[in-house]
Amino acid sequence: MKRHTYIVVFNADQGDWSDAQYNVGSVIDQTYRSLVNDRLSNGDVTTVSTTLSDDGLTLNVVRDWEEPANDEWLALSYDLVADVESLSTVTSCTHDVATV
């Protein structure tokens, strides 16, 4: 299993985590979004946590991916970080993957 951790830093308070996640999701490629949604639905991807810092500036999303779903993600060769960082409201984005 692989644990994907996404940390997005905004330049303004996002209000709540769902608003922050919606803003980020607006620029993510539809193929990638569909893969994540499908795998969340069938249990191959599980959300460990989604949090927004008290100041509303840092969104932290942690998801566990089963190996087949992770392999599908790798096959997409999608640069999520670049798309998220293209948002004018985003200061930075990191994406780390670790084996758990």
**CATH, domain 2-99, list 3.30.70, 2.30.30, 3.30.519, 1.10.20:** 3.30.70
Residue 17 CB contacts under 8 Å (≥ 6 apart), including other chains: 50, 51, 52, 59
How do residues 52-97 score in pLDDT, each as one tens digit?
999 999 999 999 999 999 999 999 888 999 999 999 999 999 999 9
Q: Could you give the CA distance from residue 14 to residue 100 in angstroms, rounded to a whole number?
A: 30
How do residues 19-51 score in pLDDT, each as one tens digit?
999 999 999 999 999 999 999 999 999 999 999
Q: How far is CA 80 from the centre of its chain?
A: 8
pTM, 2 dp: 0.91
**Nearest Cα residue to 7 out of 67, 36, 49, 68:** 49
